[in-house]
């Protein structure tokens, strides 16, 4: 029996050296230590031993069991460390390899201008309002005092979806929608897309953007309009910017004006950007027509207001020195990367 035990230990020592996987180790354990394993088998035979032999063989059997357990444990550790090394090698990271670069997009110049204008007016306590691009003729024309047959309808010819539904030609209808639902004081700007059936060229596009402004309260005067636009022009184009009003006609404002800013490029001297004028037109403005206020349920005897409409494309082109409006819509990355 002593011999058998020593034999078992010898075999385990030998086989433990050859294990290649954790499964091999488990097989080895079951083979020698399992319920039907070889060591168990030997121990079962101990009943046949004499009283004197039993403690000696028992002690030896325990020692052999401990040795086997230690061998298995060692084999297990060795295997794990080998596997870990293999894994380390597999996952080895070459920090000198060039990394993947992800190109980060930029804001479109039109977005930049819209956000800049929004920031100026938010700073002045305005709120941002929006209206639908598919608009009723009533809001786009009628309520703005542009009746059927008015020449302004021709100038702003657009895409009709039904006889009384069109793609809005201006952001001015948002004025009406807001005034219908809000009692003064009102201080809003409305950025958005507008449509006209213009042929595409360097300064025209059938889709473009405007930012509308509207203030209605007690005692609002043309002086407030001028002061507001002056603050706006200076924050947009620089502290030295001046503005000038030229008399004009819009059906929904009275009096009305076209507003120019002194050229940001030449400071009014005259250059290519301002076509030698020293001034660049950027928006239309005026005092809200009493009829328009009345159309919206606001009493013009109590309230007055001013409004303005800014062309975003025109502002962006001036601001960034872009000489062809089509560049803004072609989405050529080489162009867009510059802003």
User: Interface residues with ligand DAH (CB under 6 A)?
Assistant: 170, 172, 212, 250, 253, 284-286, 307-309
The distance of closest approach from Cβ of residue 286 to ligand DAH in the complex, given in angstroms and rounded to an integer, is: 4
CB of 285 to ligand DAH, least distance (A): 5
Q: Residues of 212-235 as b/e, b for ≥16 C-beta within 10 angstroms?
A: bbbbbeeebeeebbbebbeebbbb
CB of 171 to ligand DAH, least distance (A): 7
Using the 8-state DSSP alphabet, how is residue 253 labeled? Answer: E
Min dist. Cβ of residue 321 to ligand DAH (A): 24
Asked if 211 contacts 114 with a C-beta cutoff of 8 angstroms, the reply is yes
Task: Confirm if 207 and 313 have CB atoms less than 8 A apart.
Answer: no
**Contact criterion met (CB below 8 Å) for 150 and 270:** no
DSSP-derived secondary structure letter, 200: P
Give the chain's radius of gyration (CA, Å): 43
Choose between 158 and 262: whose C-beta lies nearer to ligand DAH. 158
Chain residue whose CB lies nearest ligand DAH? 309
Burial class from Cβ neighbours inside 10 Å (0-12, 13-18, 19+) for residue 268 reads middle
CA angle 259, 207, 168 (to 5 degrees): 80
Is the CB of residue 319 less than 8 Å from the CB of residue 113? yes
Q: How far is the CB of 300 from ligand DAH (least distance, A)?
A: 15
Q: How far from the centroid of its chain's Cα atoms is residue 107's Cα? A: 10
Judged by CB, which is closer to ligand DAH: 24, or 142? Answer: 142
279/308 with CB nearer ligand DAH: 308
Nearer to ligand DAH, 208 or 264 (CB): 208
Q: H or E stretch including 24?
A: helix 22-33
- CB distance 224 to 242 below 8 Å: no
Chain-centroid distance, C-alpha 325: 25
Q: Between residues 72 and 293, which has the closer beta carbon with respect to ligand DAH?
A: 293
Indicate the residue among 19 and 287 with the shorter CB distance to ligand DAH.
287
The least distance separating ligand DAH from the CB of residue 309, rounded to whole angstroms, comes to 2
Looking at the Cβ atoms of 42 and 316, the one nearer to ligand DAH is 316
Minimum gap (Å) between residue 109 Cβ and ligand DAH: 21
């Amino acid at each position: 029996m002593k011999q058998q035990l020593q034999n078992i230990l010898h075999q385990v020592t030998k086989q433990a050296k050859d294990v290649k996987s954790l499964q091999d180790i488990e097989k080895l354990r079951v083979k020698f230590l399992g319920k039907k394993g070889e060591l168990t088998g030997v121990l079962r035979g101990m009943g046949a031993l004499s009283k004197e032999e039993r403690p000696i063989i028992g002690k030896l059997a325990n020692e052999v069991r401990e040795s086997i357990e230690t061998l298995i444990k060692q084999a297990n550790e060795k295997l794990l460390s080998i596997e870990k090394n293999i894994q380390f090698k597999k996952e080895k990271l070459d920090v000198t390899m060039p990394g993947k670069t992800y190109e980060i997009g930029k804001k479109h110049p039109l977005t930049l201008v819209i956000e800049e204008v929004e920031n100026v007016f938010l700073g002045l306590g305005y709120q941002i309002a929006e209206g639908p691009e598919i608009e009723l003729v009533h809001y786009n024309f009628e309520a703005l005092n542009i009746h059927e047959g008015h020449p302004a309808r021709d100038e702003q010819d657009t895409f009709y979806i039904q006889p009384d539904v069109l793609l809005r030609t201006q952001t001015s209808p948002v004025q009406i929608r807001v005034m219908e639902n809000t009692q003064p004081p009102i201080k809003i700007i409305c950025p958005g897309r507008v449509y006209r059936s213009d042929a595409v060229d360097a300064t025209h596009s059938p889709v473009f953007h405007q930012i509308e402004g509207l203030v209605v309260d007690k005692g609002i005067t043309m002086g407030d309009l001028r002061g507001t636009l002056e603050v706006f022009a200076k924050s947009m184009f620089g502290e030295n910017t001046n503005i000038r009003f030229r008399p004009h006609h819009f059906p929904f404002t009275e009096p009305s004006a076209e507003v120019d800013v002194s050229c940001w490029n030449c400071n009014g001297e005259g250059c290519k950007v301002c076509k030698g004028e020293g001034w660049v037109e950027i928006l239309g403005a005026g005092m809200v027509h009493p009829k328009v206020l009345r159309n919206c349920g606001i009493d013009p005897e109590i309230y007055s207001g001013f409004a303005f409409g800014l062309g975003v494309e025109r502002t962006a082109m001036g601001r960034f020195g872009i000489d062809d409006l089509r560049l803004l819509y072609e989405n050529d990355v080489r162009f867009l990367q510059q802003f």
